[in-house]
Amino acid sequence: MRNAEVKSFENPDEVRDFPKGAVKLVNIGGAVIGRAVFEPGWRWSESVKPLAKTESCEAPHFQYHVSGVLRVVMDDGKEYDCRPGDISLFPSGHDAWVVGDEPVVVVDFQGMIDYAKSSVEKEGR
């Protein structure tokens, strides 16, 4: 049985900054959980794609949406607007951006281990 653990995003294990956003990561229970903040004007294809060097976001996401509106467009064209209180599950292959003037805050329980890492950093892990 594992030991009890308590962690806080106020004291993250790692922080990754990128244009118009950042993600704070905590390692807990063998998982990597991320709290991302995307500022108005943030778009994955403009802010993170240059780091990821992929055509679309390849990270799968299982998220709780805390604030703001996040539009997600899958590679097949399906669109979703995620709002505060929503829980979303998206497979690889999408773009996303902030809708409106409020920052988007999400807590991601899957998909943050390599999020906003350069391809060089991914090879070194």
Is 116 domain-assigned?
yes
Per-residue 3-state assignment (H helix, E strand, C coil) for the chain: CCCCCCCCCCCCCEEEEECCEEEEEEEECCEEEEEEEECCCCEHHHHCHHHHCCCCECCCEEEEEEECEEEEEECCCCEEEECCCCEEEECCCEEEEEECCCCEEEEECCCCCCCCCCHHHHHHC
CATH number for the domain harbouring residue 92: 2.60.120.10
Is 94 domain-assigned?
yes
Query: What residues make up the domain containing 36?
Result: 14-124
Is 3 domain-assigned?
no
Q: For the chain, what is the domain count?
A: 1
Banded pLDDT at 113 (limits 50, 70, 90)? confident
Interval 100-108 mean pLDDT: 98
Is 30 domain-assigned?
yes
Task: Give tens-digit pLDDT for 32-74.
Answer: 999 999 999 999 999 999 988 999 999 999 999 999 999 999 9
